[in-house]
Amino acid sequence: MLYFSKLRIVFISLISLLFIFIASNNILSSDKKFFNKKINLGLDLQGGSYLLLEIDNSPVIEQRLQNTTSIIRTYFKDNDIRIGNINLNNQKITFSVDQKSKQKVIDIFNDQESEINPYYPRFKSHELVLVDLGEIFELSFSKQGLVELKTSSQDQALEIIRRRIDEIGTNEPNILKRGNDRVLVELPGLDNPMRIKSLLGKTANLTFRFVSNDNQDSFGVEKLRYENGLDEDFVSKRIILSGDNLLDAQPRMNNQDNETVVSFTLDRVGAKRFGKATSKNIGKQLAIVLDGKIISAPVIRDTIASGSGQISGGFTFQSATDLALLLRSGALPAPLNIIEERTVGPDLGQDSINAGMVALIIGFILVIIFIFLKYRIFGLITNITLIINLFLLIGVLTIFEATLTLPGIAGIILTVGMAVDANVLIFERIKEELKIEKNNLIAFDSGYTKSRTAILDANITTLLAAIILFFMGSGPIKGFSLTLGIGIFTTLFSVYFIARLLTVLYVSKNKEKEGLI
């Protein structure tokens, strides 16, 4: 029946007022707000930087296989299995085994129920594939193993990228996965991405190693350049300490030399290892290596047992701050390559906002005029409902602190059109009912009831399309589908609760009047 209880009237009024209050929070500039959430503007409206990063997993795969090579050597030696010619090339490990031990090797890699296999989880057959080539074996990552490795690498990279960006204090960053080897970074309000690109482009793999010109070094040596790009030194491959042992790093001013340094603090294990290494190697140079380049190579004058030290290298305060930030946030599991970048200036963003608002206002005014001329008092009810519907939509977006983009504004404009369409269907159906029913209350009630199926069908199919766009699309498409999907729910609420309530109030007072619509 065309009837609303007092409880329902109060409920609808409170809901409407609540969302109007929440939506108005985006306009109010006062610091004394009871509700501190608001809609965020996307890159195309606020301006900012867009970076699509690709993870280079080749070094990770090589490192994992190197670790596996060491495990194979140790494990086979402990179990009296003789292997020879073990090599790592093209992301494949090759080694030879005598005929007596051949079947035992196959069982180790393929038999998951083996008594010894649980102690060596890297030998699991779903991660590694062992191929018998007759005289030699070939070991490489399986497809599933590569997927697991890439997923793990992406998760680590995502967390470290988030830490680095949070340390800088960028407002409302958007950091998302793309596939299994890419990361999308959106930084609204940032129109100079050079510092971000510099920070994200560094792996920040810190190691402490001794300078060694002795080719007889049991661990081997390699030639590394200093960060200035001019000097170079031979450095032992033996890693005394890595960035994993770092607890904190901060830029500091060295009062003695009046230069900027990076002061670091080690954890308990790192401090013990560092103290032992420095006590036995007084007089030697300790190279501090970051991403394959020597930052500095100071001479050890005394035992460093305190677990803290300094890194010097002719830093400016900005570069020291950035280095400390990189060390605190941790090393990336693999290098990142920037494969796409875009920068939107704030002026262009403001132009987009103005253009979108002009389009919304013009469309809204034209709709209001048309509906009012077509349906008179009920057109006025529809127009009031449309305005409340917009407040409802903006209120929901505000609660979730959604990011509004230019396609999102297009979704809002489309919502206005759909809301009008629902009201037109109802009013045209009421006209048909008035031709056969003289009682205004019954005719209006039948109009709302009989048009419900058509309205629900239209909105549900649109909602399904919005859901598919949201989960299958990305970027701007998500913004459009989000506002459209929320707009469908607010439209149905406003049509069947707010507009119907106002219609009931008017028709109840004019139930004997002819030609209401």
Q: In angstroms, how far is CA 497 from the centroid of its own chain?
A: 38
pLDDT of residue 215: 66
pLDDT of residue 385: 92
Q: CA-to-CA distance for 73 and 86, rounded, in angstroms?
A: 9
Structure tokens at 284: 């030697």
Amino acid at 496: Y
Q: What is the mean pLDDT of each run of 10 residues along the chain (517 residues)?
A: 80 92 78 70 77 88 80 78 83 84 76 45 63 83 86 87 79 80 83 75 84 74 84 86 84 80 87 88 88 86 82 81 83 85 70 77 85 89 92 91 83 86 90 87 89 92 93 79 93 92 88 75
Q: How many helices (H) and strands (E) does the chain have?
A: 15, 19
DSSP string, 136-179: EEEEEE-HHHHHHHHHHHHHHHHHHHHHHHHHHT-SS-EEEEET
Structure tokens at 232: 């170079």
Q: How far is CA 454 from CA 292, 458, 499, in A?
A: 67, 6, 17
Q: Which of 143, 138, 150, 149 is nearest to 89 (CA)?
A: 138
Q: CA-to-CA distance for 493 and 392, rounded, in angstroms?
A: 9
Provide the residue ranges of all domains of the chain, joining segments of one domain with +.
6-45+346-509, 58-142, 208-319
pLDDT of residue 453: 92
CB 394 within 8 Å of CB 41: no
Whether CATH 3.30.300.10 fits 208-319: no
pLDDT of residue 346: 62
Which residues, including other chains, have CB under 8 Å from residue 199's CB and lie 6 or more apart?
A: 164, 168, 322, 325, 326
Q: CA-to-CA distance for 378 and 380, rounded, in angstroms?
A: 5
Q: CA-to-CA distance for 498 and 419, rounded, in angstroms?
A: 12
Helix (H, G, I), strand (E, B) or coil at 86: strand
Name the strand (E) or helix (H) holding 83: strand 83-89
pLDDT of residue 192: 64
Which residues, including other chains, have CB under 8 Å from residue 114's CB and lie 6 or more apart?
A: 107, 108
CATH number for 6-45+346-509: choose from 1.20.1640.10, 2.40.37.10, 1.10.3720.10, 3.30.499.10: 1.20.1640.10
CB atoms within 10 A of CB 366: 10
Q: Which pLDDT tens digit goes with each residue over 344-391?
A: 766 666 777 778 778 878 888 888 888 888 888 999 999 999 999 999
Q: How far is CA 297 from CA 203, 263, 313, 459, in A?
A: 20, 15, 9, 68
CB 483 within 8 Å of CB 462: no
CB 248 within 8 Å of CB 328: yes
User: What are phi and psi for residue 322, nearest 5 degrees?
Assistant: -65, -40
Q: pTM above 0.75?
A: no
pLDDT of residue 180: 84
Burial class (CB in 10 A: 0-12, 13-18, 19+), 268: exposed
pLDDT of residue 118: 43
pLDDT of residue 73: 80
Amino acid at 373: L
Q: Please, where are the H alpha helices in 169-316?
A: 194-200, 268-280
CB 289 within 8 Å of CB 295: yes
